Each structure stands twice: as C-alpha cells, then as structure tokens.
Structure 1
Amino acid sequence: MQPENITLANPLRSRNDIRQLINELLNAVTPFFKKDASRVDLANFTAHYGQRVANMETFSRLLWGVTPLLAGGSEPEQFSFYIQAIKNGTNPQHADYWGEVDPYDQRIVEMAAYGLLLALAHETVLAHFNEQEKTHLWRWLKQSESQAIPDNNWHFFPILVQVGFHKAGMATHPQALEKHFAAMEHYYLGEGWYSDGPGRPRDYYISMGFHFYGLIYAKLMEKADPGRCAELRRRATLFAADFIHFFAEDGAAVPFGRSLTYRFAQAAFWSAAAFAGLEVYSPGVVKGIVLRHLRWWMKQPLFDRDGVLSVGYSYPNLIMAEDYNAPGSPYWGLKTMLVLALNDSDPFWQAQELSLPALNAEHSIPQADQILVRQPGHLWMLTSGQLELNNFVNTEAKYCKFAYSTRFGFTVERGRYGLSHAAADSMLLLSEKDNYWRGRRDCACVKTADGMIYSRWQPWHDVTIDTWLLPLGDWQVRVHHIHSARNLDTAEGGFSQPNRPHPLVETGPGSCQLTTASDISAIFCLSPHSRRGEELLTPPNSNVLFAERAAVPLLRGELTAGKDLLISAVWAGESADFNAQLCPQAIIRDDVVRLVTANHEKRLTLTDLPEISV
C-alpha cells in the first residue's frame, strides 16, 4: 500500500515532478522532527553507532534532498528547522551539540552532506548565520581533516568538506585534500574501476561513492584543480561504458552487494554525470536512466505506512540490513536527486527522455570480475571474487553467489542448519552429511577472460573447487571441478522466484523446472554425475525483491572422496521465451569440456589454470 503522502500518480518525468517527490519525501519525515533539536528519531531500532548518532545521521541525510532544492532555487517547507538544527548541532555550548568525533566515526560520513550544502547553497544558508555560528560550523566540519577513517570510499567525505570550505570562502587545508586523494590511488584498478579499499569489492560504492563524489569535485573544482578534475572525468567516462549495463529497460538495477537499503542511490552516478556535464551519453539517455530508475522504485512497497523510507530493499526487511543501517540510513538515496540542482535550461531537463542505447547482450568487465547478460525481460550478472573483508551481515549471499538478477533478486541466509535456510539460489552448497551447508566465500584465485569467469575456492581446507561461470546466449552454465577428501552432500540452485502463486513443479533425474504464468526458473544437470531435481522453499522475507517464500529449483546429489565434475545449466525469465530443447549440451573428452547450443559454443580445459598457491 502506497502512503497517502507519497503521490503514486507522480509521473516523474519533469523537473517539477522531481521537486514534488523530494518535498514529499522530506515532509513525510517532518512529524518526527524534535523541537529545538538537531536530530530526527524515526524508529526504535538502531545501528552499531547508537541511537544518538543514528538520529543525527537521519537529519544529515535529508540534506542530500534539501541541497538540490536550494541550489535549484526553492526551499523545503521546513527550511527554518534545518537552519536551526545545523546551528544547534555545531554549537559546543548547545545541549544538542553533535559532539567531538572519534576515529572511524559515523559522523564523518555525514559531514559530506554539509560540504555539498556549503558548496552549492552557501549564500542562501549562511545568510542566516552570524559570524560565531559560521565559525562553529567550520570548526565542527574541520574535525574530518585529521581523524582516522576506514581506507575506502570514506576518503571522499573530508574531500567534500574541503570543497564546501573552498566554495564558501572558509579556510581550507590543501594537504588534507591531497592526502585523501593519494590514499585512493592505491586501489584504482584501471578502466574507470576502483575497489572499495585494498582487496575490497567492486560494488555500488564505486558508482554512488567514488564516481559520484569525484564528479561533484570535477564540476566544482574545475578552475582550482583542472588536472585532477580532468582525470576524474576521464575515469568516470570509462566507468560509464560498463555501468550502463547494470540497468534494465524498465529502470531496475541489478541487486548486488551491501547497503542495498540505499535503493535509488544505485542511479546516483548518472545524476552526478548530468550535474558535471559529463559527455558520455546524450542528455536524453542519461535522463531516461535516472527517471526510469526513480519510477521503478516508486512502484515498490518501500515505505512504511507514514511515508517514511523503510530499511530493506524492495520492501521493509531488517533481515537483510547491515550493522550500520539505522532508521534514517535509506535517505542516502536522495543523492540521486542532485539533478534538481540543474536549472530548467540545462540540457538534462531540455532533452527528451530516451531509452537505453543499443547494448550488447553480453558484457564482460574484467576489472570487476563480472559479466552482465541482457535477455528480454531479464538482466542478470555473473560474478566471482567479491568477498567483503569486514564480514558484514550475509556477506556470502550479497557478494559470493554465482549470479544476481533484476527479475528474481536473491535470497539471504536465515540459518546454518537446514537447506531451506541456507540461501541455495545461485549457489553450490556442500554438507558433510550433517545438514550444515557451506558455499563459496573467499576465492584463492579469480580470472575473467574469454567470456567466462574462473574461480578457485575451498569450503574446507581439504576440499578444492575450480568453478567456471559462462553465459551461452540466455543460458548460464556452471562447471565445477571438485577435489575432495570428504564424502559430501551437494545442492545447487537456480534463480529463486515467488512461491505465490505456487509454481508448477517439474522434476526429473537431472532437472527441476518451476513455472508460473509469467516466469520460469529451471536448472539442468549436464554432467555424468547423477543428481536429482527438487523444489526448495525458503522462509518468508529471505528474498530481497519479494516478501513471500521463495521457490528455488535445485539439483541434489552426493560425492565420495576423490575427483568429480559437476556441470549445470540455468535458465530464468519470461515463460513465453523458454524452450527446454535449447538447453546446452556438455561434451566431455579427457580434460576438455565443450559447451554447445544451437547458436553458441565455448570450450574450456580443466587443467588450464592460472598459477595458484593454495
């Protein structure tokens, strides 16, 4: 049910439509403003940094919507509250002072919003501040210059504070800025890609973090720092050619990685590209990506009944939340509203909204170890080697599955014991005959080449699995070469789909197919090793896209100690497009596997492996 204070009828096609949406999102939070305070209390749950900082975070993240309104020539209805709250929060003598920050402090994250506020709306905002109040604001933000922070996208937060100081005529610290830019160079991978810190994943933080902030810097500091700004634009241009493949024709983006509760921040990169005037795709194409994405999200049940953004993905779901997701965390999605800072005459708003350009059905990204596959009504991604070293909640489910889908999402683990709790979709799980299941987590080696992704992983120290993932047209094929010192049970799942209505289940000695009027999800065993087809039902609220129980087509089998070869083919999409007769065939001769369909063929050699030390 859509809350009354969020207008479902908003077509989200014009600048005024976006302005209306921002105001509705902000106004839904207004009843939770605390009089004479500088925090917003939305709910009773909290994050690891505690309720007081979480309430400060909520207020601060609203500024990602307030700032584009101000820069675009309008004010939020509660403008006086925002001004007074900032004054109170940065005044050391006030009871609601936000406080002195500590190393690795969440408040440093939120300082970026104030940097952008100063950069884009300092004249409007500071007109309401006296000199002492300006000094308080400057001193509070200045704490970001020297505090220890995680070695990842956080380096951009003090950088944006320096940009705000520069644009507002406040004293800057050029050495701090240089230090943080230098730190991020250590994990620039080339071709526009960063990892989110040394050895860390390549997820949406690269788009909504590194490049979003980098393009803001490139726009606002072009005269002061032209060389760096040109390089940031160059990298963003390279990245855009890959990132466009993450978006489906209906506006959805592939759900993958942590922090999915930021939701429409998935398109923040494109808003920053428009803001910076990045000449990568035509303004009409960029406009289409942003607006279709927002329209897709506004069709999801992502709000609580009072119109407040919930924690979750397409629906309220604390089960998939991170330890750092507080009630106000989802308002980071307002970063995508940056396009409202562009005036009516900007090419973005003047352009006619256009569809996605012609894109290859298969797009490989070696720097991220990802392959995007586009079929009618279904966009999916193969990936390997994306372990999040901080071990955030459900890391394996969010990063380590074989595939992620705009149509079918993915499930998160609900418990170690029992297969139904173990998030078996798009995974090979193994159990040592005790119903405790292990899947792929960290990889000893990953290589993306020749239209396939290879990885080596060890669920136990004496079980080594070499896995190849490859698309063959609309089919996904997986090859697992297993060396095991243990007797194991195996379970390999295809894409999950909603169990309501319950799908027609067709199982056989080596296949399982789940069919509804609109969808099919199927998995077939292509290897000589015998496996039986089964349907698996997961608990409710385990899939990030739908709340009902998920149905997963599954292959079950047993392995004895020694060497084994498991090959499977997966298909999922619109029912009308499926033809089981087109399932790939696996032709195995010695150590060579040929994978063949009517229109495609790929081959791999099981012994042709990268140099690996395990």
Structure 2
Amino acid sequence: MQPENITLNNPLKSRADLQKLVNELLNAVSPFFKKDASRIDLANFTAHYGQQIANMETFSRLLWGVTPLLAGGQEPEQFSFYIQAIKNGTHPAHADYWGEVAPYDQRIVEMAAYGLLLAVAHQPLLAHFNEQEKDHLWQWLKQSETQDIPDNNWHFFPILVQVGFHHAGMVKNAGALEKHFTVMEQYYLGDGWYSDGPGRPRDYYISMGFHFYGLIYAKLMQDVDPQRCEKMRERATLFAADFIHFFADDGAAIPFGRSLTYRFAQAAFWSAVAFAGLDVYEPGVVKGIVLRHLRWWLKQPMLDRDGILSVGYSYPNLIMAEDYNGPGSPYWGLKTMLVLSLGEQDAFWQAQELPLPGRETHHSIPHASQILVHQANHLWMLTSGQLELNNFVNTEAKYCKFAYSTRFGFNIERGRFGLNHAAPDSMLLLCEKDDYWRGRRDCQDVTTADGMIFSRWQPWHDVTINTWLLPLGDWQIRVHFLKTARELDCAEGGFSLPNRPQLQLQQASAKSQLSTASDTSVIHCLSPQPRRGELVLTPPNSNLLFAERAAVPLLRGELNAGTHLLISAVWAGETGAFDELTCPKAIVSEDAVRLVIGHHEKQVILENLQ
C-alpha cells in the first residue's frame, strides 16, 4: 500500500517540486506531534540510547528539512510547533526538557541541526524567542563544548554549534573550534579522503559527514577563518573527483557500509557542493546527481503506509539496522535538502539538469581500497574489506564482501550456521565441515595498485588467504591463494537475484548461472582445482534492495590441509548483454596467474606475497 500523503510521481525537476516533497515528508509526521511536547514518538522500537532520546532525535532530524525551507524563504506548515518544541526542549524547568547531556551522548549529534538552523535561519526563528528563551537555547547547545565524544566525525557537531552561535550573535568559544579541528586533522589520509576516526572505515560518513559539514563551514565561516575554509574546499574538490563514481546513471548510489537507513543522505555531499558554490563540476551536473538520486529513492518502497520514512534501505527492514538506528533516524536523509536554502536565481536552480560526465570504466581509489566499475546499466565496486572497530551488526556483510552493486545490492547475515543464513553473495566462505561459516573480516595487509586490490586475511590462525580482486572488462576476477592446516569446505558466491518464479538456473561442474528476463548473475571456476556450481536461497529480507528470498549462484568445494589456488570469474548485469564467450581465461604458472579476455590482460604475481 502506497502512502496517500506523499506524491510519489513528483517529477523533482524544480525547486518548487523539491519544496513540495520536503513539506510532504514533514507533514506526514505532523499527526504524531504532541501538544506541549518536544519529542516525536513514531514507533514501538528504539535505539541503544533509549526511547526518550530517540524521540528527541526524531524531532531534531526533521530540522534538516525545516532549516533549508526557512533559509530559502518558506515556512513549513507546522512552524509554530517547531518553535514551541525548541523552547520547551531547552527550558530547564519544562517537563519535557531535553536534559543535561552526558559523555558520548546522542543529543550532541542532534545539536548540529540547531547549529545550522541558527547559522542560516536565525532571523525567522529567533524572531519568536524572547531573551530568556534565546539564553536557554544557547545554554543547552553550549553543553557540546566540553563533553567527551567518540573519536570520529562527531567532532563536527560541536563545530556546527559554534558556527550557529557566530551567525546568531551568541557568545562563541573559539577554543572549542580549534580543539575539534585539531583532532580531526589526524584522520586525513590525503587526496580528499579521511577515515572516520583512527583506523576506521572510509565509507559514506566521509561524504555525508566530513565533507558535508566541512563545506557548510567553508561557506559560512569564510570571513573569519579563510585559510581553513580554503583547505576544506580544496579537499572537497579532490574528493568529488572520486565520489562521482559512486553514482549510477539512473541516480542510484552503491549500497555499502553502515548507516544505510539514512538513504538519500548518500547525495548530501553534492547538495553541500552547491551550497558552498564549489567549482568542481558544472551546476547542471551537480543538479542532475542530486535530483536523479532523489527520484530513484521515490521509486523505492521506503515509506510506511502513513508516509513515514521506515528504518531499512530500499524497503522497511529492521534486520539490517544498527543499534543506533531509532524510528526517526532515517530523517538524517533530509540533509540532502540543503539545496533549498539556495534561492531560485542561484546557479544550481537556474542550470539545466545534465547527465553524469564521461568517466573511465575502471576507477581506483587507493585511500579507500576500492575500485569502481562502470558497466552498462550496472555500477559496482570492488573493495578490500574494512574492519568497523565498533563491530556494528552485520559488519562483515556491510564492509567485507568482495563487491557491492547498485543493481543487485548485497545480502546481510541471518546467522552463521547454514550457508543460506551466512550471506554468501560476493564472499568466499569456509567452514570446518560443520556448517558454521566464516569469511573475510580483518585484513592483515591491503594494497591497491595496478588496477587490482590485494588483501591478506586469516579466518583461523592457521589458515591464511591471499586474495586479489580485479576488474577485467565487465568481469570481476578473484584469485585466492590459501594455506590451511585444516580440512575445510568452501563456498564462493556471485551477486544475488530475487528468487522470482521466472528464475532459471544453469549448473555445471565449474559454473553456476542464474537468469531472469532482465538480469543474469554467473560465477565461473577458472582454477585447476574443481568446484561444483550450486544455488543457495537466503531468507526473506536478506537483500537490501528486494524483500524476496535471494538466490545466490555458488561454487562449492572441499580443501584438504595444504596449499590451494582458487580462481573465479563473476559477471552480473542485463540478461541481453551477457555473452558466455567473453569469460576470461586463466593461465597458471608456478608463480603467477595470467588472466586474458580479448585484448585485455592482467597478471597476478603469487611468489612475493605468499
């Protein structure tokens, strides 16, 4: 059932179209507003920080849509509610006071929304506040200056509060700015890339966190901190040249990593590019990325029947949620609506929407250990595997698979016992013949060079696997050199398809191929050691893009104690574009594997990395 209060056929071509969408998303939450409250309760589940703070988070994240509307000259329909809720929530004597924050407190995250609100829309907001109410708001936000916070992108939240103080004429703390910027400088890797804290992943938090907030700072603090603002603009320019490869021609972005329930926050960086006037691509190119992305999301069943953004990715799916995902968490996606703060005459809105510029077929990002592959109507990414130190739910599935796809998504684990529960797509899984499966998690060594990614990983202390991943044409090649002291079963999967009635399976001694009228997914064994083709069906709601059971083409085999070489070729895309004859050939010598497809050739050297 589609919600009646959201116009799903909104063309999203103009500023008015986007304003309409934001107002509809905000108005869908309005029935859940409570008189004299400063929180919004949307559901009967919660996050690790408890229901009260989760409800405060819901209210605060709506401000990422409210603020651009106000800055762009339009009041949301329920503006009086937002004003009163902020007054109540920041009044220490009010029954619904948001409270004193503690170290590592989720409320510090939400303070960033109030910082931006004060920075770009303080006039329409504070016109409704008396001096005491302004002081309450300042005092409550000021708590962010001294509290301990996680060592990651959170350092930008107190910074945005200080930016808000500066523009609203409130007393600011310059020392707080310096402290947090100094810490984050340690995360910078070069070429526009950060890690999300020491040893942490390079995922969407680099775009929707570091650079999104950095470009807001660069726009709003240019007069008082020009040198730092220029550095942020330079880094964002470098990053943009890589990040544009994360978006497909149809607007979809590659699902990868944690916090995917924020959905269209994947394009928030590009809205910040427009907001800051960053001269990296033509305004029409940036406009196209943002609007195509939002149009793609409007086609997904992401809303419940009340028009509320659900927790999930393409569809409501609590199974994939992190423990910090509350009922209102998805409204962080409204960060992408920042472009509404730009007037109708801004270059972004005046520009004609343009397609993505020409890009190389294979794009390597060494700092993120990723290779993006632009196949016709299919964008996919090879990755080294990144360890999320907090071990959020389904960390291996979200970070450690060999490949991620805009067209086929990826599967999350439902358990370790039984291959169907273990999310075998785009993974090499192993077990000690007991049906408890392990795959790549922590990597002891990673190298991205010469158009391929190398990783060394150990599923057990006495099992070492060297893995090379490389694109060859539209094919994905995997070379695994294993040394094992154990007898093992192995299973290696390609991309998964929905298990619909028209699904066709072709199995052979060294191949598994799945096809529908529109899609094909195949995995070939290219190594001398035989593996048999099989099919595994995962439970419903395993794949992030479709709720049906997922069908995964597999290669299965047995490994005795000793040394083994496994080579596979994976292809997935439109059924009409698949050509079996293009499958690469592997020529194995004592110390190398030569891979050949047409005029393309790559060589993997084994001897130096054993």
TM-score, with length taken from structure 2: 1.00
SS of 1:306's equivalent in the other structure is: coil
Structure-2 residue corresponding to 1:57: 57
| Residues in 2 aligned to 1:516 and 1:441: alpha-carbon distance in whole angstroms | 32
Alignment pair present for 1:44 and 2:81: no
Structure-1 residue corresponding to 2:240: 240
| Residues in 1 aligned to 2:367 and 2:316: alpha-carbon distance in whole angstroms | 33
| Residues in 1 aligned to 2:332 and 2:385: alpha-carbon distance in whole angstroms | 27
CA shift for structure 1 position 500: 1.1
| Residues in 2 aligned to 1:563 and 1:454: alpha-carbon distance in whole angstroms | 18
Alignment pair present for 1:520 and 2:540: no
Question: After TM superposition, what 4+ stretches of structure 1 lie above 2 angstroms from structure 2?
Answer: none
| Residues in 2 aligned to 1:318 and 1:263: alpha-carbon distance in whole angstroms | 14
SS of 2:407's equivalent in the other structure is: coil
Structure-2 residue corresponding to 1:104: 104
| Residues in 1 aligned to 2:608 and 2:360: alpha-carbon distance in whole angstroms | 28
Tell me the percent identity.
79
Which segments of 5 or more consecutive residues in structure 1 lack a partner in the other structure?
A: none
Per-residue CA distance 1:203-226 (angstroms, 9 max, x = gap): 000000000000000000001100
| Residues in 2 aligned to 1:41 and 1:504: alpha-carbon distance in whole angstroms | 45
Matches within 5 A, 1:527-546: 527-546=527-546
Matches within 5 A, 1:82-97: 82-97=82-97
CA shift for structure 1 position 34: 1.1
| Residues in 2 aligned to 1:133 and 1:608: alpha-carbon distance in whole angstroms | 67
CA shift for structure 1 position 609: 2.7
Alignment pair present for 1:204 and 2:204: yes
Per-residue CA distance 1:398-453 (angstroms, 9 max, x = gap): 00000000000000000111000000000000000100000000000100000000
| Residues in 2 aligned to 1:434 and 1:480: alpha-carbon distance in whole angstroms | 22
Alignment pair present for 1:334 and 2:352: no
| Residues in 2 aligned to 1:484 and 1:331: alpha-carbon distance in whole angstroms | 47
Which deviates more, 253-262 or 499-508? 499-508
CA shift for structure 1 position 607: 1.7
SS of 2:607's equivalent in the other structure is: coil
Alignment pair present for 1:290 and 2:298: no
Structure-1 residue corresponding to 2:140: 140
Structure-2 residue corresponding to 1:299: 299
| Residues in 1 aligned to 2:406 and 2:179: alpha-carbon distance in whole angstroms | 38
| Residues in 2 aligned to 1:388 and 1:337: alpha-carbon distance in whole angstroms | 29
| Residues in 2 aligned to 1:306 and 1:345: alpha-carbon distance in whole angstroms | 35
CA shift for structure 1 position 385: 3.5
Matches within 5 A, 1:205-284: 205-284=205-284
Structure-1 residue corresponding to 2:489: 489
CA shift for structure 1 position 608: 2.4
- Residues matched between the structures, number: 610
Per-residue CA distance 1:113-153 (angstroms, 9 max, x = gap): 00000000001100100100000000000000010000000
CA shift for structure 1 position 386: 1.2
Matched AA of 2:6: I
CA shift for structure 1 position 502: 4.2
Structure-2 residue corresponding to 1:365: 365
Structure-2 residue corresponding to 1:25: 25
Asked if structure 1 preserves the Cα contact closer than 8 Å seen for 2:218 and 2:230, the reply is yes
Asked if structure 1 preserves the Cα contact closer than 8 Å seen for 2:502 and 2:517, the reply is no
Structure-1 residue corresponding to 2:577: 577
Matched AA of 1:602: K
| Residues in 1 aligned to 2:196 and 2:172: alpha-carbon distance in whole angstroms | 26
Matches within 5 A, 1:85-484: 85-484=85-484
SS of 1:547's equivalent in the other structure is: coil
SS of 2:304's equivalent in the other structure is: coil
Asked if structure 1 preserves the Cα contact closer than 8 Å seen for 2:385 and 2:440, the reply is no
| Residues in 2 aligned to 1:501 and 1:171: alpha-carbon distance in whole angstroms | 64
| Residues in 1 aligned to 2:71 and 2:85: alpha-carbon distance in whole angstroms | 19
Per-residue CA distance 1:478-530 (angstroms, 9 max, x = gap): 00000000000000000001111341100100000001100000000000011
SS of 2:608's equivalent in the other structure is: coil
Structure-2 residue corresponding to 1:593: 593
TM-score, with length taken from structure 1: 0.99
SS of 2:6's equivalent in the other structure is: coil
Asked if structure 1 preserves the Cα contact closer than 8 Å seen for 2:536 and 2:554, the reply is yes
| Residues in 2 aligned to 1:609 and 1:591: alpha-carbon distance in whole angstroms | 10
Matched AA of 1:118: L
| Residues in 1 aligned to 2:168 and 2:223: alpha-carbon distance in whole angstroms | 15
CA shift for structure 1 position 387: 1.0
Per-residue CA distance 1:562-611 (angstroms, 9 max, x = gap): 1000000000000011011110111011111101101310001112239x
Let me know the Cα RMSD of the aligned residues: 0.6
| Residues in 2 aligned to 1:174 and 1:229: alpha-carbon distance in whole angstroms | 15
Which segments of 5 or more consecutive residues in structure 2 lack a partner in the other structure?
A: none
| Residues in 2 aligned to 1:601 and 1:387: alpha-carbon distance in whole angstroms | 31
